[in-house]
Copies of this chain bind each other. A is one copy, B any other.
């Protein structure tokens, strides 16, 4: 056989540096890598392969990359909505986490998240949570690619009762995961500048640097955080983190809704990356990140869903559509955040935000084979003038027909090849029944 997998008869949205769109394209995969990306120029059948997928005129594109999430929070999807942030967090989410999270529930919440992400064309996510050992082990079973970070916070947290252990737990997590899996990459998830003291922040960054892994941190998410850091340190959250030496290309700043022009300069100068989570920011009324200004400053911005308690899904198609529309509405400029820019945020720039753009985020020979097929033979996808427009403005998760991660076919004809959806739903519903009725964990 020439190839292990061939995908043909679709329009390839390569998301390569020139954003080439290849009509009647063929993608050939050998083992875990893209070996052929080309237009079909004759009537001969596609090259021989162990398996051949007919994209049926649909869109062949890089798998979507979710640059910020908290996977096990699927358990709390829609538990509490439409509330003031402090009521939501202190009266609903924190108590539910404290009471109902354990390795068993985290495992099922992660499996549910994995099923949801795969079915929605997400092939890689950047997760940060607690009991991340369980998240990492569970994700490794699913075939998804992920960056995983054990949470570091100066409060008792699920699985880390004593916060003085937080860095040791995070360090052990990294040691256990480094080089253990090609698909699961450890990182440090430092919660935020307002929940970690200066010493914790700096040691957490030092831990990430020592191991050469990503340092994820929520930053400048709310007005309240902005005011608190300003009052305590006399600096904006971003300037404060910079004053501690935390900003460099290995740092992923999540949210960045409260930034001044100087903050944007700092982020650009340090080469730090940003994860933009528009639906979560909107639903919690946290603020609106100045994304067009970040892009104008040359900052790498990926797209994240955030956790399911504040979104309420893990659907990058929703985030793309919302990101494209929100910033037009806020700026009054219909030309900002055009479809190509937004597709890049959900693919190659998300990859760059995680430090993985050399391996994933576009369909180019030699790169990892993380590829999805979006079915265009649907009324809401008809007609197609510009495939990137449909991906951003009209496609839904349910339009994803095939998902390949590192050469493995994980979704075929809209159904997962490995995960038992019925069993996962049944198990999560059992857990949710306890949460809903206040039963014991």
Chain B residues whose CB sits within 8 angstroms of the CB of A332 once the complex forms = 223, 285, 287
Are A318 and B315 within 8 A (Cβ)? no
B81 contacts A313, CB within 8 Å? Answer: no
Question: A411 vs B399: C-alpha distance in the bound complex, in angstroms?
Answer: 18
Q: Which interface residue of A288, A329, A394, A436 has the most chain B CB atoms within 10 A?
A: A329
- CA–CA, A312 and B320, complex, Å: 13
Report how far A331 CA is from B82 CA in the complex, Å.
13
Which B residues are CB-close (under 8 A) to A318? 321
Report if A428 contacts B (CB, 8 A). yes
As a 0/1 sequence over residues 127 to 149 of chain A, the CB contacts with chain B under 8 angstroms (1 = contact) are: 00000000000000000000000
Query: Given the complex, which residues of B lie within 8 Å of A88, measured CB to CB?
Result: 334
Binary interface profile of A, 64-85, with partner B (CB < 8 Å = 1, else 0)? 0000000000110111011111
Asked if A177 is an interface residue, CB under 8 A from chain B, the answer is: no
Partner among B335, B383, B393, B398 whose Cβ is within 8 Å of the Cβ of A398: B398
From B313, B328, B393, B421, give the contact of A393 (CB < 8 A). B313
Q: Give the contacting residue for A315; candidates B223, B315, B380; CB below 8 A.
A: B380
B-facing residues in A364-384 (Cβ within 8 Å): 377-380, 382-384
Assess whether A425 is interfacial by the CB under 8 Å rule: yes
- Cβ of B432 and Cβ of A385 under 8 Å apart? yes
Q: Are A329 and B328 in contact (CB under 8 A)?
A: no
Q: Copies of this chain, how many? A: 2
Stretch at the interface among A113-121, A166-174, A202-210: A113-121
Could you tell me if A312 and B393 are in contact, using CB atoms closer than 8 angstroms?
Answer: yes
| Pair A283/B428 contact, Cβ less than 8 Å | no
Please determine whether A119 and B379 come into contact, CB atoms closer than 8 angstroms. yes
Contact indicator B77/A383 (Cβ below 8 Å): yes
Q: Does A90 contact B (CB under 8 A)?
A: no
Chain A: number of interface residues, binned into ranges: 35 or more
Instruction: Kindly state whether residue A282 has any CB partner on chain B within 8 Å.
Output: yes
Q: Are B436 and A385 in contact (CB under 8 A)?
A: yes
* Pairwise interchain contact A75-B282, C-beta atoms closer than 8 A: no
Among B78, B115, B335, B424, the residue within 8 A (CB) of A84 is: B335
Chain B residues whose C-beta falls within 8 Å of the C-beta of A389 in the assembled complex: 78, 81, 312
Which listed residue, B112, B312, B329, touches A288 by the CB 8 Å rule?
Answer: B329
Q: Is A396 in contact with B398, judged by CB distance below 8 angstroms?
A: yes
Instruction: Assess A333 versus B285: contact at CB under 8 Å? Given A321-B318, A380-B120, A393-B313.
Output: yes
Cα of A84 to Cα of B331 in the assembled complex, Å: 12
Instruction: Specify the chain B residue showing the minimal Cβ separation from A424.
Output: B379
Which listed residue, B116, B223, B377, B379, touches A112 by the CB 8 Å rule?
B379
Q: Give me the 10 closest cross-chain CB pairs, A-B, nearest first.
A: A383-B432, A398-B398, A282-B325, A82-B338, A78-B389, A282-B329, A116-B379, A285-B334, A115-B379, A312-B393
29 intermolecular pairs with C-beta atoms under 8 Å apart:
A77-B390, A78-B384, A81-B339, A81-B389, A82-B324, A120-B380, A282-B328, A283-B334, A284-B334, A285-B328, A285-B329, A285-B332, A285-B333, A287-B332, A288-B329, A312-B393, A312-B394, A313-B380, A313-B394, A315-B380, A315-B394, A326-B326, A326-B329, A377-B425, A380-B397, A383-B428, A385-B435, A396-B397, A398-B398
